[in-house]
Chain A
Amino acid sequence: MGKTSYMKLQGSHQLRQRLVLATLATTPILVEDIRSDDTSPGLRPYEVSLLRLIEKISDDCTVEINETGTKLRYKPGTLMGGRYLVHDCGLSRSIGYFLEPLILLGLFGKKPLSIRLKGITNDTKDPSADTFRTTTLHMLKRFGVPLEGLEMKIESRGAPPLGGGEVILGVPIVPSSLTATHWVDEGMVKSIRGVTFSTRVSPQIGNRMIYAARGVFNRFIPDVHIFTDHRSGPSGGRSPGYGVSLVAETTSGCLISTDIAVSYPRAEETNALEDSDEKPELLPPEDVGVQVASMLLEEIEQGGVVDSTHQGLLFLLCALCPPDVSKVRVGKLTPYGIETLRNIRDFLGVKFVIKPDPTTNTVILKCVGCGMKNLSRKVT
């Protein structure tokens, strides 16, 4: 075999996006200095788990990690997809961490993907499984992804630290490519929907959160419906926790989401702080409700067709379109969004034209897609 030239990258930041883009652009990458100055150097368990997951859905890809885990070589293979796959996401990051890259990889596979993911469904670091179901999947419609087969089901919930949740994700393949979108009309917020979750706590907590959140929205809009999803028994996972996921729908069909989750911290997090033995107090449900409602209002204030969490995915989808102009509007660019734009330039060679819209304090981005085609798909 001929020698492959690797694209050299440094550090563990943006590893997910880099892996996704490397796979889609079939660029082998060599990542160095992964937490090399850290007291516990190298890849984290969730990053290794993500690599395993990518191996699972693709054929002929190679992953090499050095002894300390500070260097990683990744040579992408062919994305296969497949049915009835199972992956244990571990407990160091929630399922949301894995869903974000997985959905992009699934779209460009040979066969539709259906996979059962086990782990934590709701936590603070990543978008929750609820947000993913209500908002993220709907974003794909704008880019011409077939609705059939695009689904997610939360079989059981799991809060940190012990998890125990399970979700089933189904992603269809794109027939040949995505379609470019012109998506700048934010519209006006017409309704607010949401769902609370509570596991291994009093079922009343859900209603207390709803009551508090509704109090905030009363000044704005009457059409507020938040459902409760209380799980007990095995479908409630192994740890107590509760939280809310909210979505604001606008007249132009944009979905602005936010979520929050409260649970007891993971063991490694408390050790670092050298806390006492007693369990820390959780944020009261009323405060959770007010906070999540305020967060949603802040997202609405920012403007844009997606919320701050989905900026990265939006830009990626735009860049993966056929060579056609896409135009989108977002609120203030987030650090993650900016990093995404840089990664897109490095891997796909797509540069966005970024213009602020001073009258609304939003940002308009335009780009010509890189012309990504689903090459793994079976040609008939």
Chain B
Amino acid sequence: SKWKESLLVRTKSRQNGNLMQLVYGPNVTSSTATLREAHDSSDSDESNEDFFMPKGERTKKLSDKLGVENINAEDSSKFIGIQVKDWSDENLIKSIRDRFVTGDWSKASQRGAGVEGLGDDEA
């Protein structure tokens, strides 16, 4: 019905904002330029003395940075950690049935059609 449409649009846009926030942090406005400027200015102040700094100060600085969970996390592009599902399960099989050429082609094309619609919205 008609009254739902505006709600739907609003929820969609909110979700979108969330994803941007998740990646770039809540202060989306702070651009790279300001970030780099800050680096440059602090660099000229401290220069080489910065190599020796009390430990406490370091952690203080660290907490200022946004969204960094573990600064020494393992550097690997592989995404491991999810438990593999049991793919002999009938429901699971059904859920991705149409992602294969052996599945329903019309449903697969709907998947593509959804994108085109989304693309139009953006424009």
Q: Give the 5 A-B CB pairs with smallest separation, nearest first.
A: A11-B71, A359-B114, A13-B73, A308-B79, A294-B84
Q: Is there contact, CB below 8 Å, between B87 and A341?
A: no
Q: Is there contact, CB below 8 Å, between A10 and B71?
A: yes
Q: Is there contact, CB below 8 Å, between B76 and A12?
A: no
Q: Is there contact, CB below 8 Å, between B111 and A10?
A: no
User: Does A358 have its Cβ within 8 Å of any Cβ on chain B?
Assistant: yes
Chain A residues near B84 (CB-CB < 8 A): 291, 294-295, 298
User: Does A8 have its Cβ within 8 Å of any Cβ on chain B?
Assistant: yes
With beta carbons under 8 angstroms apart, the residue of A11, A126, A355 that contacts B16 is A355
Distance A358 CA – B76 CA, assembled complex (angstroms): 28
Q: Is there contact, CB below 8 Å, between A189 and B101?
A: yes
Q: Is there contact, CB below 8 Å, between A345 and B32?
A: yes
User: Does B58 have its Cβ within 8 Å of any Cβ on chain A?
Assistant: yes
* A7-B36, A297-B87, A351-B24 as given contacts; A220 in contact with B102, CB under 8 Å: yes
For this complex, 10 residue pairs linking A to B, each with C-beta atoms less than 8 Å apart, are A8-B42, A12-B71, A38-B72, A126-B78, A186-B99, A222-B102, A297-B96, A338-B23, A342-B67, A349-B32
Most chain A Cβ neighbours within 10 Å, of B47, B67, B75: B75
Interface size on A, residues (CB 8 A): 78
Chain B residues near A291 (CB-CB < 8 A): 84
Q: Is there contact, CB below 8 Å, between B87 and A125?
A: no
Chain B residues near A71 (CB-CB < 8 A): 51
Distance A185 CA – B113 CA, assembled complex (angstroms): 10
Chain A residues near B68 (CB-CB < 8 A): 10-11, 13
Interface size on B, residues (CB 8 A): 61
User: Does B70 have its Cβ within 8 Å of any Cβ on chain A?
Assistant: yes
User: Does A184 have its Cβ within 8 Å of any Cβ on chain B?
Assistant: yes
Nearest CB to that of A50 among chain B residues?
A: B75
Q: Is there contact, CB below 8 Å, between A356 and B15?
A: yes
With beta carbons under 8 angstroms apart, the residue of A16, A36, A355 that contacts B75 is A16
Contact residues, A287-345 vs B (CB, 8 A): 291, 293-295, 297-298, 300-301, 303, 308-313, 327, 329, 333-336, 338, 341-342, 345
Q: Is there contact, CB below 8 Å, between B101 and A188?
A: yes
Q: A residues near B, CB below 8 A?
A: 3, 5-8, 10-16, 32-36, 38, 66, 71, 97, 100, 124-127, 184-186, 188-190, 216, 219-222, 251, 291, 293-295, 297-298, 300-301, 303, 308-313, 327, 329, 333-336, 338, 341-342, 345-346, 349, 351-360, 363-364, 366
With beta carbons under 8 angstroms apart, the residue of A5, A10, A184, A310 that contacts B62 is A10
Distance A8 CA – B53 CA, assembled complex (angstroms): 15
Q: Is there contact, CB below 8 Å, between B65 and A10?
A: yes
Nearest CB to that of B80 among chain A residues?
A: A124
With beta carbons under 8 angstroms apart, the residue of A36, A300, A335, A359 that contacts B111 is A359
Chain B residues near A220 (CB-CB < 8 A): 93, 96-97, 100, 102
B98 to chain A, nearest CB (A): 8
With beta carbons under 8 angstroms apart, the residue of A15, A188, A298 that contacts B108 is A188
Most chain A Cβ neighbours within 10 Å, of B33, B44, B78, B101: B78
Q: Is there contact, CB below 8 Å, between A34 and B72?
A: yes
* A126-B77, A184-B115, A354-B16 as given contacts; A8 in contact with B43, CB under 8 Å: yes
Q: Is there contact, CB below 8 Å, between B115 and A355?
A: no
B61 to chain A, nearest CB (A): 8
Nearest CB to that of A258 among chain B residues?
A: B78
B107 to chain A, nearest CB (A): 10
Taking A127-B77, A309-B78 as known contacts, 5 extra A-B pairs with beta carbons closer than 8 A to each other, sorted by chain A number, are: A7-B36, A35-B72, A125-B76, A298-B84, A354-B16
With beta carbons under 8 angstroms apart, the residue of B16, B72, B87, B103 that contacts A13 is B72
Q: Is there contact, CB below 8 Å, between A336 and B65?
A: no
User: Does B19 have its Cβ within 8 Å of any Cβ on chain A?
Assistant: yes
Nearest CB to that of A339 among chain B residues?
A: B73
Q: Is there contact, CB below 8 Å, between B105 and A188?
A: yes
